[in-house]
Homo-oligomer: A and B are copies of this chain.
């Protein structure tokens, strides 16, 4: 089941640089892991922003929330979720 998810990152200035780096590394590792598991089939950068547009493939709304809230950057992201359905003209 697919969802279009836009994640906008806003890291506060008050966070220490070393902490920021640790979070970003953990985020990258988790993103790669979820891609390999087939849960995160598409991940694109939005040009000019510290944001991504992603397609997530999960079993349920609950799984999607668990996946998103487990991301190391979750506390610093504004996330917009759009549920997707099969389009009648899609081949």
Q: Which residues of A contact B (CB under 8 A)?
A: 1-5, 12-15, 27-28, 31-32, 35-36, 42-49, 52-53, 55, 60-62, 64-66, 68-69, 79-91
Within the complex, what minimum Cβ distance (angstroms) separates A72 from chain B? 12
**Partner of A82 from B35, B46, B62 at Cβ < 8 Å:** B46
Given A3-B61, A60-B1, A61-B1: A48 and B87 interface contact (C-beta under 8 Å): no
Instruction: Determine the main DSSP class of A at the interface with B.
Output: mixed
Measured CA separation A89–B46 after assembly (Å)? 13
Given A45-B65, A89-B27: A83 and B83 interface contact (C-beta under 8 Å): yes
Residues of B within 8 A of A66 (CB): 85
